[in-house]
Structure 1
Amino acid sequence: MTSQTDRLLILVGSGPGIGRHIACEFASKRFNKVALLARNAGRLAEDQAAVQAATDGKAEVRTYLVDITNDDEFIATLDKIEREMGLPEVFYYNAARVALSKLLESDAKEMEHDFQINCKSLHTAAKWAIPRLVSLADADADARPSLLVTSSLLPLDPIPDMFALSMAKAAQRNMTQSLAKVYGPKGVHVGMVLVGGPVDPAHETLSPSNIASRTWGLFEEPKENQTFEIQVV
């Protein structure tokens, strides 16, 4: 059972950049439970240790090794998280693959793979998460149910040499906008974080720590005036 004071963050696409820093930021400020999902066991262990260190060991942090492009495996993993940790307050989707794909040289497999990660698997996640977030909004006035997604400026300004990812990101933004239109009025904050360049720890604004801080600001916005997307450039 999830108590009224439990706050669970599910983060899909954990890793040493944005994912780890988002988890640390949210866990250090509100969330006493964190579920980290990724395909790399070694990185998951490192991320788990980082989040626990950021909370002085006070947060319950569990890791889940999963291939999110396998729908059955993905859903089974999310069901396992619910059994072990309860209902999420925030579902954060940070999965992506960054690879070159030239405009007229890309084949269907490249396009399908980027669409799978950015759209189909996000749709699978939303079908699982949204009903639970709506239920939480109805049950707990203090909760801030949210579905947040990391994106880039590619939906607004595509790069021809990253054609497949640009196309998939545009479709992802379209779908996320639709989710916001339908489920925002039902109490779920659906939002996107558009990162305007390569993540660089040394960069003033594109460092993962600044991206995480800006994302926390998006999450913390007043319920009556929530933003759909922010740009971090």
Structure 2
Amino acid sequence: MEPASAARMLLLIGSGPGVGVAVASHFTKQHFNRIALFARNPHQLQKDREAVLAAAASVNKVVVVGTWQVDISDPEQLQQALSEVEQFGRLECVYFNAARVGTSLFFQFPPESVEQDFRVSNSALYIVSRWAIPLLLQEGKSQPETNWKPSLLVTSSLLPKDPIAELFALSMVKAAQVNLVKSLDKTFTSQGVHIGLVVIGGQVSVDSPTLNPTVIAKQAWELFAQERKDWTPQVTLYEDGTVDWSESI
């Protein structure tokens, strides 16, 4: 096994069935040899770990997969997990996939639940960015590899542009999240960290030919794999199969 200092690491925050494990698995097959998974559910984390290991084995790769059971809405838990994962490998990419998805009806949804949603989608992303971006900048400058790609990518949707009333809380926090990501992009992409959004323009389903987790993971990879001169801030996948590289939100 290579030492942690020699490992290309993907940190996937919000692991789970669907987009999370699909991204971790596809990125492993393409590029990474160390994967760190963050999620609340320890049983799902173990399933995801096994799925990533199987994906690596399918292309005859060796990968080290670490799992952290963490509630990212708790700043102390999150910061502790980040300090531990920093010793796990050389950080090359953070993929932020965490969100609380569920119905929120006007005047029935408690204000404290709105605040909880904000902590998961925005406060946690801010904490992660504050930790990750200095590391990504440092690694990008110190690594001689021409294909080193320091990146911070975030799963998004069309809710910031077209909110759904029955999902008003999710719509709100995703709009705030896009604002944060765009601010990070304006500040740090020019310095050498690719900040980007993977915008999913519809409901994710394993039965969908266009918005299934595997297709989404492949497009997320295409965003990550761009050469620096070609970096774009987002990719949008639509239900009709269209893939848009312009700023859709």
Give the alignment's TM-score, normalised by structure 2. 0.89
Matched, 1:181 2:206: no
Matched, 1:64 2:68: yes
Return the alpha-carbon distance in structure 1 between the equivalents of residues 123 and 5 of structure 2: 32
Alignment of 1:1-233 (within 5 A): 2-4=4-6, 6-56=7-57, 58-83=62-87, 85-141=88-144, 142=146, 143-233=148-238
Q: In 1, are the aligned partners of 2:21 and 2:51 still within 8 Å (CA)?
A: yes
CA-to-partner distance for each residue in 1:214-233, whole Å, 9 max, x for gaps? 00000011211211111112
Q: In 2, are the aligned partners of 1:8 and 1:89 still within 8 Å (CA)?
A: yes
CA-to-partner distance for each residue in 1:43-76, whole Å, 9 max, x for gaps? 1111101100111161001111111111111111
Q: Secondary structure at the match of 2:210?
A: coil
Moved over 2 A (4+): 1-4, 102-107
CA shift for structure 1 position 28: 0.5
Q: Secondary structure at the match of 1:89?
A: strand
One-letter amino acid of the structure 2 residue matched with residue 196 of structure 1:
G
CA shift for structure 1 position 211: 0.2
- Size of the aligned set, in residue pairs, is 231
Over the matched positions of the two proteins, sequence identity in percent amounts to: 41
Return the alpha-carbon distance in structure 2 between the equivalents of residues 182 and 225 of structure 1: 17
Q: In 2, are the aligned partners of 1:103 and 1:162 still within 8 Å (CA)?
A: no
Return the alpha-carbon distance in structure 1 between the equivalents of residues 79 and 63 of structure 2: 24
Q: Secondary structure at the match of 2:118?
A: helix
Gaps of 5+ in 2: 239-249
Return the alpha-carbon distance in structure 1 between the equivalents of residues 46 and 130 of structure 2: 28
Return the alpha-carbon distance in structure 2 between the equivalents of residues 90 and 125 of structure 1: 12
Return the alpha-carbon distance in structure 2 between the equivalents of residues 97 and 108 of structure 1: 14
CA shift for structure 1 position 144: 0.2
Return the alpha-carbon distance in structure 2 between the equivalents of residues 54 and 146 of structure 1: 22
CA shift for structure 1 position 170: 0.4
Return the alpha-carbon distance in structure 1 between the equivalents of residues 234 and 107 of structure 2: 31
One-letter amino acid of the structure 1 residue matched with residue 19 of structure 2:
I
Q: In 1, are the aligned partners of 2:196 and 2:234 still within 8 Å (CA)?
A: yes
Q: In 1, are the aligned partners of 2:97 and 2:154 still within 8 Å (CA)?
A: yes
Return the alpha-carbon distance in structure 2 between the equivalents of residues 206 and 110 of structure 1: 28
Return the alpha-carbon distance in structure 2 between the equivalents of residues 220 and 48 of structure 1: 23
Return the alpha-carbon distance in structure 2 between the equivalents of residues 176 and 76 of structure 1: 23
Gaps of 5+ in 1: none
Return the alpha-carbon distance in structure 2 between the equivalents of residues 144 and 209 of structure 1: 22
Return the alpha-carbon distance in structure 2 between the equivalents of residues 136 and 103 of structure 1: 45
Q: In 1, are the aligned partners of 2:34 and 2:89 still within 8 Å (CA)?
A: no
Aligned counterpart, 2:246:
none
CA shift for structure 1 position 108: 1.6
CA shift for structure 1 position 3: 4.0
Return the alpha-carbon distance in structure 2 between the equivalents of residues 160 and 105 of structure 1: 12
